[in-house]
Chains A and B, each alone.
Chain A
């Protein structure tokens, strides 16, 4: 599936990133979230004005900032993989640590949003929009935490002198999961903050 990062930086023309089986899980997750997005829009159609008014009570600046934070963390993960392939482990370690810091910033901003929405009387029980907002972003936040755990594993691997093909595939799989977290948030940001 993949070559050891320390032996060659040349990648074959067509290769599966990470473990092949990981993609079954990643696509499954993408489809499950897709079903949630559909459900959200079906509920929105029942009360579009309510959803539109509720949307404007969200902190869109925080939503934009969270998007930029996740995009940057994804770029840092790409940087880390490039550094691993080039054999510059110190850069890889620092890039993964910075990506994890971005993830923690995302969590902190989300907690700030939850607390401020709750304080303004916009908790999950306020109406259908807020219920879906808390369920969808809560599920995504759970994925962020899983992603941080995956990046913790990747961080430990960047300190190894040599990575076997199996470990390299696991590292790439962990990185792909972090990109999935980014990918799902892009749809969530558009649906919750801009479209609804």
Chain B
């Protein structure tokens, strides 16, 4: 059993996605003005990243339905709430 073998799974792939998403959100969000819809996209990327951490690092992908549903609701709720506050306040 090698380190490479242990990393060749969904979590390893998710880490690559998370790094790419971090760079993407940096490129998108570093230089936008106030009230820009870019912020909503950046928040969506952050939410997708949080979901990946929960599902593949915390192993919630294989958790009982109520636990996974609570986490999915948290992710969706946070994105909707934060984006709504950003747009409408």
A186 within 8 A of B: yes
Known contacts A38-B81, A179-B57; is-contact A14 B64 (Cβ 8 Å): yes
A146 within 8 A of B: no
Main secondary structure of the interface of A (DSSP, over half): helix
The answer to whether B74 and A16 touch across the interface, beta carbons within 8 angstroms, is no
Further pairs besides A38-B85, A48-B34, A195-B43: 11, Cβ < 8 Å: A17-B63, A42-B85, A71-B19, A74-B53, A77-B57, A86-B1, A87-B1, A179-B53, A182-B57, A187-B78, A187-B82
CB < 8 Å: which of B46, B63, B86 contacts A189?
A: B46
Going nearest first, the 5 A-B pairs with the smallest beta carbon separation are A194-B29, A45-B89, A190-B46, A41-B85, A48-B34
* Whole-angstrom CA separation of A187 from B82 in the bound complex: 10
Using a CB–CB distance below 8 Å, which chain B residues touch chain A? Answer: 1, 3, 6-7, 9, 11-12, 15, 18-19, 22-23, 25-26, 28-30, 33-35, 39, 42-43, 45-46, 49-50, 53-54, 56-60, 62-65, 67, 70, 74, 77-78, 81-82, 85-86, 89
Using a CB–CB distance below 8 Å, which chain A residues touch chain B? Answer: 11, 13-17, 23, 27, 30-31, 34, 37-38, 41-42, 44-45, 48-49, 51-52, 60, 64, 67-68, 71-72, 74-75, 77-79, 82-83, 86-88, 91, 95, 176, 179-180, 182-183, 186-187, 189-191, 193-195
CB < 8 Å: which of B18, B74, B82 contacts A30?
A: B74
A and B contact pairs by CB, cutoff 8 A, 8 listed? A14-B62, A27-B70, A38-B81, A42-B85, A64-B26, A77-B57, A179-B58, A183-B53
Known contacts A41-B89, A60-B26, A79-B7; is-contact A190 B43 (Cβ 8 Å): yes
The answer to whether A182 and B53 touch across the interface, beta carbons within 8 angstroms, is yes
Residues of A within 8 Å of B22, CB to CB, are: 64, 67-68, 71
* Whole-angstrom CA separation of A60 from B32 in the bound complex: 14
Known contacts A45-B85, A64-B22; is-contact A75 B15 (Cβ 8 Å): yes
Known contacts A14-B63, A34-B78; is-contact A79 B46 (Cβ 8 Å): no
Residues of B within 8 Å of A68, CB to CB, are: 19, 22
CB < 8 Å: which of B53, B62, B70 contacts A11?
A: B62
The answer to whether B53 and A91 touch across the interface, beta carbons within 8 angstroms, is no
Residue among A44, A64, A193, A194 with the highest chain B CB neighbour number at 10 A: A194
Residues of A within 8 Å of B25, CB to CB, are: 190, 194
